[in-house]
Amino acid sequence: MRNVFSSTNIVDRSMKTLVFTEGTLIMNSGARGLSREETVKQVQEGKNTSIYEYKNYIPVGNSARKLHLWKNQGAEIVYLASRTKPAEIEEIMNVLKKHGFPDGQLLFRGEGEEYEDVAERERCQTS
């Protein structure tokens, strides 16, 4: 995949940008104010139940604003969720809407699929 930005810092107008949702754009509400290292530790230890409360996830930094900038410059935004259960996927979609992320397709893995399978499926559909 090519770089998102050209030498003039403008997004390539033919660019489709695939972005992971959980952990990249949104995070559990219990991670608010924590460093990345503290957040990773929190998830690994599994002691914070907010990591399973997907409907209460919050944006990571200014991620929604950044994606709007890219979209306004012509990028097509495509989201990739790590969730696989329909109810959880719906919660992730609702969080993106609630926090003002730009419209875009939300992809997810099917039974037995890996992330690369989803990316390849998407690539083949757009070729």
Q: State mean pLDDT over 114-122.
A: 87
Q: Which of 12, 10, 34, 13 is nearest to 23 (CA)?
A: 34
Alpha-carbon gap, residue 26 to 20, rounded angstroms: 9
Strands 58-59, 26-27: pairing is antiparallel
68-86 residue pLDDT tens: 999 999 999 999 999 999 9
Q: State mean pLDDT over 6-14.
A: 49
77 phi and psi angles, rounded to 5 deg: -95, 130
17-67 residue pLDDT tens: 899 999 899 999 988 998 889 888 888 888 788 888 999 999 999 999 999
Beta strands in 1-127 (DSSP E): 16-20, 26-27, 58-59, 76-80, 105-107
pLDDT at position 123 is: 78
pLDDT at position 3 is: 30
Alpha-carbon gap, residue 69 to 110, rounded angstroms: 30
Q: Which ranges in 2-107 belong to alpha helices (H)?
A: 36-45, 63-72, 86-98
